[in-house]
């Protein structure tokens, strides 16, 4: 287990890697600094669990790595594709789950065309849905689904990702029953086995059979 918080910027920069490198990153919320100097590395095939009290910046850090916001200092680099599944499911309520997956894949440049365009492409969507037993409700409008069903659809996106991608997961097990949590664990384990990377803000054990590092964030007044 390693702690990823660094106390000042005077430490030497982290060595480059083909994985994720967070070096001296400063995060703010509003006008307040919530992380003054954060550094961490995730190598291919490794997982880090992001921990810390409410308000310590876990979601903010994930969004910064995903490129949704910019830290005010420091650097973030990753040579692998990055896929982000936030605490919100990010699904279009009026569309089916199947359509949501197809549209999401297209927006992220993944090699999956819109569902129904070709048998092979439909098969990839079906395989992703099956990874979370989401096939039976995949053609219903998302607005008709339960919280757990929407979460399963959101996480099924991961099954469409490139092998060595970095997965950024914000409380991924929230709203999942035990069976779906086991599906998530299996998917993460298989991703790590293929050389992928995971950074997850969670209090639920993930990736059974794999060791993990800890990126522990402290609350700053």
Nearest to 150 by CA among 162, 128, 166, 134: 134
Q: Which helix (H) or strand (E) holds 124?
A: helix 119-130
Q: What is the pLDDT along the chain (221 residues), one digit of tens a residue?
A: 333 333 333 444 555 567 999 999 999 988 889 999 999 999 999 999 999 998 899 999 999 999 999 999 999 999 999 999 998 889 999 999 999 998 888 887 776 654 444 444 458 889 899 999 999 999 999 999 999 999 999 999 999 988 899 999 999 999 899 999 999 999 999 999 999 999 999 877 788 778 889 999 988 76
pTM of the model: 0.86
Alpha-carbon distance values, 165 to 63, 108, 191, 194 (Å) = 16, 12, 9, 10
Q: How far apart are alpha carbons 187 and 89 in whole angstroms?
A: 18
Domains of the chain by range and CATH?
1-81+164-221 (3.40.50.300), 95-161 (no CATH)
């Amino acid at each position: 287990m390693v702690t990823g918080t660094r106390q000042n910027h005077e430490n030497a920069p982290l060595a480059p890697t083909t994985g994720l490198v967070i070096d001296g990153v400063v995060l703010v919320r509003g006008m307040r600094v919530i992380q003054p100097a954060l550094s961490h590395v995730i190598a291919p095939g490794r997982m880090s669990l992001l921990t810390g009290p409410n308000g310590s910046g876990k979601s903010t850090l994930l969004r910064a790595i995903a490129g949704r916001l910019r830290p005010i200092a420091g650097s973030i680099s990753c040579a692998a594709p990055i896929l982000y599944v936030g605490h919100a499911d990010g699904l279009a309520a009026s569309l089916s789950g199947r359509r949501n997956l197809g549209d999401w894949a297209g927006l992220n440049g993944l090699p999956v065309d819109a569902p129904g365009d070709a048998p092979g492409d439909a098969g990839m969507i079906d395989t992703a849905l099956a990874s979370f037993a989401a096939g039976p409700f995949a053609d219903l409008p998302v607005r008709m689904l339960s919280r757990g069903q929407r979460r399963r659809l959101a996480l099924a996106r991961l099954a469409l990702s490139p092998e060595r991608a970095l997965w950024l997961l914000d409380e991924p097990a929230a709203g999942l029953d035990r069976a779906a949590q086991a599906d998530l664990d299996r998917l993460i384990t298989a991703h790590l086995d293929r050389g992928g990377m995971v950074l997850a803000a969670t209090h639920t054990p993930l990736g059974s059979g794999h060791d993990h590092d800890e990126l522990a964030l402290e609350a700053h007044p």
